[in-house]
Each structure stands twice: as structure tokens, then as C-alpha cells.
Structure 1
Amino acid sequence: MENNSLFQIKKDIETCVGQKVQLKANKGRKKAFIKEGILENTYPSIFVVRFENEYEATRRVSFSYTDVLTKAVEIVVCKDNRKICAS
């Protein structure tokens, strides 16, 4: 069941490549990281989100699909407000 869920999460994320997403990541101790960025690319084990800040600096951060499965990371596609998560 877990592999099937990971496969579904990966498939859902792959359909959103190039779209603007809002990402919420738990940093531990009740701290959260919430930013908007572009879902840049997907790989077999990870996906990459590109963030830009007010200083015109680009930052690329990678996350694993397991992070989404365990709800350490939540992704919301900004265009249609669709949340990508495990069913």
C-alpha cells in the first residue's frame, strides 16, 4: 500500500511541473516554512522547487516524495488551489 501511495504522489507531482505552488514544510519544534515557488523538476526519488526572493537570488530546494506522504511537506497548486497529498 505504501509504494502505491508513493507512486500516486509522484504521479500527481509530475503533472504539476512548471506550475506555481505553495509549499509548507515542518522545520520541527512547531516551526513551519511557508513559501511560494515553481515546481521545477521531478526525479525518481525527489522533486525540486525553485524559490526567488526580493534580492533576485534563486534558491532550489529538493524534497522527497516520502516527505509528502508523511505530511512533513504539504504542496498546494496555486492555480486551482488543489492540495497534493496521500489519499
Structure 2
Amino acid sequence: MDSITKIREDLEECIGKKVRLKANKGRKKTTIREGILESAYPSLFVVRINNDYDNTRMVSYTYSDVLTSTVEITILED
């Protein structure tokens, strides 16, 4: 089993749970967001984020982003 498959399987087990994402946007810019892991597809996963203005936003990242540490994902326990 390769690393990306392991990451995908781990995230599939956490669908519906609250997560914290730390994304490296380049040029020393990082964003930290919290949301709910909505779904996991063969090449990417989707997180639903609620911001301060009651807007819901969907963001998606690839498993290779997690593998290369471009995105760090933490599962939050409620």
C-alpha cells in the first residue's frame, strides 16, 4: 500500500468529523481554517468551512498536498 492510499483511507474514516487545516499558500503565507470533512474522492477530499459571516464554503485538496506537507490536517475531537 502506498502513502497516498493510506492517507485516503485514513481520511475516509474521518468523514463527518471536525478538522483543522493549515495550508501553505506560498511566499510565507499560511491559512488556518476549521471545518467538517465532507467527502473523500479517489484523488481529492472536500472540507466544508463556515466563516464568521455565516457563509459556507467548500475547499478541496489533493492527497499529495497532505503527503508533501503543503496542507496539514488535524482531526479535532469534540
Q: TM-score, normalised by structure 1?
A: 0.86
Q: Which residue of 1 aligns with 2:41?
A: 43
Gaps of 5+ in 1: 81-87
Which of structure 1's runs of 4+ aligned residues deviate more than 2 A? Answer: none
Q: 2:13 aligns with which of 12, 15, 19?
A: 15
Q: 2:61 aligns with which of 60, 63, 69?
A: 63
Q: Which residue of 2 aligns with 1:33?
A: 31
CA RMSD of aligned residues (A): 1.2
In 2, Cα distance between the equivalents of 1:76 and 1:8? 16
Count of aligned positions = 78
Q: 2:50 aligns with which of 44, 49, 52?
A: 52
What do residues 33-84 of structure 1 show as CA deviations (whole Å, max 9, x unaligned)?
101100010111100001001211100000000000000000000118xxxx
Seq. identity, %? 58
Gaps of 5+ in 2: none
